[in-house]
């Protein structure tokens, strides 16, 4: 090797040594590198241990399966698996499932130590449509649990863990109150607690969620618990379709109004604002969860299979409960498991009565301020709800009688003017319709007849008719109350069911006698009413007779109480018309109308009428001269 090559190699070596020295890791970097190596080694060691455990479990399973299928695995292996899955709560992974009954005058509840949840809720004062006990919650069709991440970032769900309790249940009545405590323990000073409380005669169940000494057992970055409640709504009423169409999830924004998911299709909402309560609402009953303060947010949804009649809908809610990692934290709630009874829900002062579909705006006000107070008043003295509906009908019709009489009188005046109106129509037959209308209105003005006078009572009656349309199917007071041949006024009555599942499209699979009577009475009223009207349009006449046929199909599957009310209203109106006809002398009315025409002064044109005539002239139309 020559001298130049040796010097070159020496310089390269010095450069490499200098580069390595200048770029060597600092002590901090060396410590971090060692920590990573240790972590990797720990993970590999844990994976190796997990593999050995799985192999041990598989070997145990294969070895003992042919001999004893249900033999319990060694406790040591079970403890290792439980610790990996549940962390410090691993002891709650096993336990004894036990149902503990608590009850008051209105409710019977069974609390399951598995999950600490209400496994069964039975309403004492009510039955299903077939006479079976009315069960609103059942562990077979309901899930309830609180989810969170533990200190090792494992997802924990209380629904799958065993709670412990010293209680064997209780029965409470009157003004007394009892509670039951169930704990999910790490040890005596670290636990999650459910406390249920019952008053003697309430549909409310106090529910306290307590977290004690768990600040180091729950993930340090966790700021909430997720409460998930999912239940399958089962049929309680006679009409499956009607009950499904009013079942959904209602909810109340804190310090705001009540809203709900769609009743006629699957729906879901993600609610980012504070929620006071949510409710799984059926036609006449609800199961709700109410926060003492509020839930931070919620995700709610409904789903169902239109072709299935095994259940009404599947309802689900996931709400968030705040967590601050304090030594002791409490989140107070209440369950409501009970009827959709207006006075009962209103007494809670939570706007939960808004779940009852009484209509919107004026229709709801009529129900709240008039119909419900009257109904409740008579309910205190009369046991027969058919009689109450009859009295309610008489009161409503009697209240509207003065307006109805004025309407009938207005129709009588128009009837005596009918020959003169027909002369005007013959005069302009095939001619100028505007001139015909003007002369007809001029005749009415001279005679002092208001052609819209007959519509005023109808304007007052329509809100009441629509209010009653919403009231009867939503009134739990009528549920399973019999009258005459109807065994339940809240749903349809049937005097004959078609055999073999036969069904007439638009009509149904049965015959409702109250609906038949309502339709027949509507035809009777229409016949009497047409004798007093001026309409000569044959299409309008046919439409008046077509409506009862449409009612026959629409109301056949609706509330018998509603059809009964409409039937009574029609009969009352029919006989009222006959009485008015006997009291009104059409000859005397005709004489007064003619005298009024003679005395009538020329009517001065209004500015609006002058503008209309001016516009007509600009378009080439010349209005008739006054006579």
Question: What pLDDT, in 10s, does the model give residues 271-314?
Answer: 999 999 999 999 999 999 999 999 999 999 999 988 888 899 99
What mean pLDDT do residues 312-339 have?
95
Q: Print the SS3 string covering 494-544.
A: CCEECHHHCCECCCECEECHHHHHHHHHHHHHHHHHHCCCCCCCHHHHHHH
Q: How confident is the model at residue 343 (pLDDT cuts 50, 70, 90)?
A: very high
Inter-residue contact 156 to 179 (CB < 8 Å): no
Q: Which two tokens stand for residue 239?
A: 């009409």
Q: How far apart are CA 320 and CA 276, in angstroms?
A: 12
pLDDT given at position 111? 96
Contact 253, 298 (CB under 8 A): no
Band (pLDDT 50/70/90 cuts) for residue 489 is very high
Determine contact, residues 214/191, Cβ cutoff 8 Å.
yes
Q: CA-to-CA distance for 371 and 377, rounded, in angstroms? A: 10
Query: What's the burial of 595, exposed, middle or buried (CB within 10 Å: 0-12/13-18/19+)?
Result: exposed
Q: For residue 464, which of 564, 392, 383 has the smallest C-alpha distance? A: 392
Most confident of 232-241, 413-422, 460-469, 543-552: 232-241
Q: Are 193 and 184 in contact (CB under 8 A)?
A: yes
Q: For 478, left (φ over 0), alpha (ψ -120 to 50), or beta?
A: alpha
The correct answer on CATH 2.70.98 for the domain covering 144-166+174-356 is yes
Task: Give me the residues paired with residue 147 across strands.
Answer: 157, 226
pLDDT higher than 50, residue 435: yes
Our separate counts of H helices and E strands in the chain read 16, 21
| Helix ranges, 167-249 (H) | 240-244
d(CA 193, CA 183): 4
How do residues 397-421 score in pLDDT, each as one tens digit? 888 888 887 777 777 777 777 777 7
Q: How confident is the model at residue 454 (pLDDT cuts 50, 70, 90)?
A: low
Q: Which has the higher per-residue pLDDT, 62 or 206?
A: 206
What are the residue boundaries of the structural domains of the chain, listed by start?
144-166+174-356, 365-486+560-599
Alpha carbon distance 80, 87 (integer Å):
10
Fill in the DSSP letter of residue 350: S
CB–CB of 212/327 below 8 Å?
yes
Q: Which two tokens stand for residue 338?
A: 């009970």
Segment among 62-76, 86-100, 256-270 with least mean pLDDT: 62-76
Q: What is the DSSP letter of 318?
A: E
Report angle CA 316, 318, 319 to the nearest 5 degrees: 140
Let me know: does 511 contact 391? Beta carbons within 8 Å: no
% helix, strand, coil for the chain, step of 5: 45, 25, 30
Question: Residue 171 class from Cβ within 10 Å (0-12 exposed, 13-18 middle, 19+ buried)?
Answer: middle
- Coil/strand/helix, residue 124: strand
Mean pLDDT, the chain, as a whole number?
A: 81
Cβ-in-10-Å burial (0-12, 13-18, 19+) of 168 comes to: exposed
Residue 112: both structure tokens together:
């399951």
| Length, in residues, of the chain | 627
Handedness of CA 573, 575, 578, 583 (dihedral sign): negative
C-beta separation of 286 from 340 below 8 A:
yes
Q: What is the pLDDT of residue 506?
A: 81
Chain segment 575-584, per-residue pLDDT in tens: 888 888 777 7
320 phi, psi to nearest 5 deg: -105, 140
Q: Quick one: pLDDT at residue 415?
A: 73
Output the pLDDT for position 459.
75
E strands, 98-154, are 99-103, 107-112, 118-127, 133-138, 142-149
CB 576 within 8 A of CB 401: yes
| Residue listed under structure tokens 């924004």 | 253
Judged against a pLDDT cut of 70, whether residue 83 lies above it is answered with no
> What pLDDT band is residue 588 in, cutting at 50, 70 and 90?
confident
Decide if pLDDT at 9 tops 80: no
Lowest-pLDDT choice from 198-212, 258-272, 607-621? 607-621
Question: How far from 587 is each of 82, 488, 530, 591, CA to CA, in Å?
Answer: 98, 50, 19, 6
Whether residue 76 is predicted with pLDDT greater than 60 in this model: the reply is no
Q: How many Å apart are CA 92 and CA 86, to the nearest integer?
A: 8
For residue range 17-38, what is the model confidence (pLDDT) as tens digits? Answer: 665 656 666 655 554 555 445 4
Among the listed residues 543, 169, 582, the one whose alpha carbon sits nearest the alpha carbon of residue 408: 582
Whether residue 250 contacts residue 260, with contact meaning beta carbons closer than 8 Å, is answered with yes
């Amino acid at each position: 090797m020559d001298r130049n090559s040796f010097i070159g190699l020496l310089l390269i070596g010095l450069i490499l040594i200098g580069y390595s020295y200048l770029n060597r890791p600092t002590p901090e970097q060396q410590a971090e590198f060692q920590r990573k190596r240790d972590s990797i080694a720990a993970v590999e060691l844990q994976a190796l241990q997990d593999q050995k455990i799985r192999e041990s479990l598989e070997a145990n399973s294969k070895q003992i399966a042919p001999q004893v299928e249900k033999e319990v695995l060694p406790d040591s292996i079970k403890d290792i698996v439980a610790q990996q899955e549940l962390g410090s709560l691993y002891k709650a992974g096993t336990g004894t499932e036990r149902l503990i009954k608590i009850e008051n005058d209105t409710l019977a509840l069974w609390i399951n130590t598995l999950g600490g949840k209400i496994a069964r809720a039975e309403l004492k004062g009510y039955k299903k449509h077939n006479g079976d006990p009315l069960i609103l919650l059942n562990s077979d069709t309901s899930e309830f649990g609180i989810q969170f991440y533990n200190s090792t970032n494992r997802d924990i769900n209380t629904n799958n863990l065993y709670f412990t309790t010293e209680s064997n249940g209780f029965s409470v009545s009157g003004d007394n109150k009892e509670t039951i405590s169930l704990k999910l323990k790490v040890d005596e000073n670290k636990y999650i607690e459910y406390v249920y409380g019952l008053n003697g005669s309430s549909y409310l169940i106090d529910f306290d969620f307590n977290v004690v000494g768990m600040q180091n057992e729950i993930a340090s970055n966790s700021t909430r618990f997720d409460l998930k409640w999912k239940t399958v709504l089962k049929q309680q009423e006679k009409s499956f379709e009607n009950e499904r169409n009013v079942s959904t999830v209602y909810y109340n924004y804190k310090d705001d109004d009540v809203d709900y998911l769609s009743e006629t299709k699957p729906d879901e909402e993600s609610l980012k604002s504070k929620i006071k309560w949510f409710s799984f609402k059926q036609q006449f009953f609800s199961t709700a969860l109410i926060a003492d303060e509020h839930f931070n947010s919620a995700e709610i949804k409904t789903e169902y299979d239109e072709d299935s009649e095994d259940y009404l809908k599947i309802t689900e809610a996931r709400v968030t409960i705040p967590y601050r990692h304090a030594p002791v934290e409490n989140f107070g709630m209440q369950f409501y498991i009970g009827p959709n009874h207006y006075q009962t829900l209103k007494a809670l002062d939570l706007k939960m009565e808004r779940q009852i579909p009484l209509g919107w705006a004026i229709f709801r006000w009529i129900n709240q301020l008039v119909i419900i107070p009257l109904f409740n008043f008579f309910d205190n003295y009369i046991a027969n709800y058919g009689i109450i509906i009859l009295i309610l009908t008489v009161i409503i019709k009697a209240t509207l009688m003065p307006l109805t009489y004025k309407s009938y009188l207005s129709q009588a005046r128009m009837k005596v003017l009918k020959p003169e109106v027909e002369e005007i129509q013959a005069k302009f037959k095939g001619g100028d319709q505007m001139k015909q209308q003007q002369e007809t209105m001029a005749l009415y003005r001279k005679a002092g007849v208001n052609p819209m006078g007959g519509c005023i009572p109808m304007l007052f009656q329509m809100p009441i008719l629509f209010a009653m349309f919403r009231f009867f199917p939503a009134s739990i007071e009528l549920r399973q109350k019999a009258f005459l041949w109807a065994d339940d006024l809240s749903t349809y009555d049937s005097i004959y069911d078609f055999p073999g599942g036969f069904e007439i499209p638009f009509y149904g699979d049965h015959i409702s006698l109250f609906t038949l009577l309502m339709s027949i009475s509507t035809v009777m009223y229409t016949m009497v009413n047409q004798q007093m009207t001026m309409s000569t349009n044959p299409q309008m006449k046919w439409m008046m007779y077509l409506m009862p046929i449409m009612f026959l199909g629409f109301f056949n599957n609706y509330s018998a109480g509603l059809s009964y009310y409409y039937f009574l209203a029609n009969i009352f109106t029919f006989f009222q018309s006959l009485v008015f006809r006997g009291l009104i002398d059409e000859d005397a009315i005709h004489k007064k109308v003619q005298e009024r025409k003679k005395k009538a002064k020329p009517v001065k044109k209004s500015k609006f009428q002058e503008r209309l005539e001016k516009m007509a002239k600009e378009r080439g139309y010349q209005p008739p001269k006054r006579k």
